[in-house]
């Protein structure tokens, strides 16, 4: 069992799910559907390419907001 970082954002009428570790993107009409779809996409990626080339060390990532003037 392994965990992957996934970010999900709402864009227009869809939720876009991204896994930056594997450079995979999926979507869904709801948050739950997007999470289910990205999990399936990750499983298909691993099934197709294996785990040998995946980074062994998982780095903790931080996501935050920054405020930029004049944007």
* Structural domain for 41, as ranges: 1-71
Please tell me the total count of domains within the chain: 1
Between 59 and 24, the higher pLDDT residue: 24
Kindly tell me if the per-residue pLDDT of 58 is higher than 70.
no
Model confidence, pTM: 0.79
pLDDT, tens digit (0-9, with 9 covering 90-100), for 7-34: 999 999 999 999 988 899 999 999 999 9
Specify whether the CB–CB gap between 5 and 61 falls below 8 A. yes
Between 4 and 37, the higher pLDDT residue: 37
Report the CATH number that the domain containing residue 52 is assigned in CATH.
3.30.160.250
Distance CA 62, CA 47 (A): 28
The pLDDT of residue 36 = 98
């Amino acid at each position: 069992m392994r965990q992957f970082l996934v970010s999900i954002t709402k864009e227009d009428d869809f939720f876009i799910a991204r896994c930056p570790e594997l450079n995979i993107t999926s979507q869904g009409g709801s948050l739950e559907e997007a999470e289910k779809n990205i999990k399936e996409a990750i499983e298909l990626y691993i099934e197709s390419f294996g785990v040998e080339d995946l980074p062994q060390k998982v780095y903790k990532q931080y996501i935050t907001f920054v405020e930029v003037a004049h944007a």
